[in-house]
């Protein structure tokens, strides 16, 4: 019997599997940032940061699986509404048209108290962000920002793409990756959720090439 994406995800326990992996990668980034802090003799600024969280005003590139666990969270918390989908669509289109260096807009998942409302399932690119320079610089950009380079952690996130694709039986697309800007990844997951033809639906979307990805963010490759 055919299953919808939502049924498939629930029966195959994909959300806990993905969320555990993402949490593990994010935890490793935190640990890596602290270890590097000792080497470079600079404290990590993020733990005690009281500045405006402009790190959450950046263009976030996420893998499809990362969008899927955020979509699951929205569904579980009653936030999958027509208004939310419209906001995701509008935001995705704007992000896709923007230069990542110029994008400075608070993330849709940042609340009025500047807390991430999907924190424990936030994408690995968010979980990897730690800086050693004063928090104010994240907003003013008056000097170079020294950030932790989470190469191993992001490589682990890329490895998970293939395991996820195989568990979903999503056919490989030559020269393309199943990733995109975060609001797009959440939106396509929500739109595929109740479809039995979710594999065909997902596969025919205009997935980015390596060149597109390099334009957005070299750290996701
Ligand atoms: S990246 Fe910058 S703004 Fe974000 S928590 Fe760290 S110090 Fe604060
Ligand atoms: S998903 Fe969360 S951590 Fe990532 S940019 Fe949005 S609010 Fe910030």
Query: Tell me: the pLDDT tens digits for 57-115?
Result: 999 999 999 999 999 999 999 999 999 999 999 999 999 999 988 999 999 999 999 99
Q: How many domains does the chain have?
A: 1
pLDDT at 218 over 70: no
pTM of the model: 0.95
Is residue 138 situated within a structural domain? yes
Q: Domain span at residue 23?
A: 5-215
Spell out which residues line ligand 2, taking CB within 6 angstroms: 56, 60, 107, 109-110, 116, 118, 122, 126
Is residue 112 situated within a structural domain? yes
Is residue 155 situated within a structural domain? yes
Is residue 220 situated within a structural domain? no
Is residue 26 situated within a structural domain? yes
Is residue 204 situated within a structural domain? yes
Spell out which residues line ligand 1, taking CB within 6 angstroms: 45-46, 49, 51, 53-55, 129, 131, 135, 138
- Quick one: which of 198, 190, 177 has its CA closest to 2? 198
Is residue 133 situated within a structural domain? yes
- Any idea how long the chain is? 221
Is residue 221 situated within a structural domain? no
In contact, 58 and 220? CB cutoff 8 Å:
no
Distance of CA 82 to the CA centre of its chain: 21
Among residues of the chain, what percentage have pLDDT more than 90?
89
Burial code (b: 16+ CB inside 10 Å, e: under 16) for 125-162 equals bbbbbbbbeebebbeeeeeeeebbebeebbebbeebbe
User: What is the distance in A from the centroid of ligand 2 to the CA of 118?
Assistant: 7
Q: Can you say whether residue 13 is alpha, beta or left, with left for phi > 0 and alpha for psi between -120 and 50 degrees?
A: left
């Amino acid at each position: 019997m055919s299953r919808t994406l939502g049924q498939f995800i629930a029966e195959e326990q994909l959300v806990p599997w993905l969320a555990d992996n993402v949490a593990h990668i994010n935890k490793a980034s935190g640990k890596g940032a602290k270890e590097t802090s000792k080497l470079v003799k600079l404290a990590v600024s993020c733990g005690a940061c009281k500045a405006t969280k402009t790190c959450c005003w950046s263009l976030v590139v996420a893998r499809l699986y990362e969008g899927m666990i955020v979509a699951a969270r929205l569904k579980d918390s009653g936030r999958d509404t027509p208004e939310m989908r419209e906001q995701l669509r509008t935001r995705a289109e704007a992000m896709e048209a923007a230069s990542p260096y110029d994008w400075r807009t608070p993330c849709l998942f940042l609340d009025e108290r500047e807390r991430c409302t999907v924190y424990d399932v936030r994408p690995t690119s968010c979980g990897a962000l730690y800086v050693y320079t004063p928090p104010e610089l994240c907003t003013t950009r008056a000097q170079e920002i020294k950030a932790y380079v989470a190469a191993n952690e992001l490589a682990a996130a890329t490895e998970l793409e293939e395991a996820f694709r195989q568990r979903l039986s999503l056919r490989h697309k030559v020269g393309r990756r199943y990733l995109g800007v975060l609001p797009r990844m959440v939106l396509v997951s929500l739109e595929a959720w109740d479809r039995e033809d979710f594999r065909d639906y997902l596969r025919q979307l205009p997935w980015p090439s390596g060149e597109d990805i390099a334009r957005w963010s070299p750290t996701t490759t």
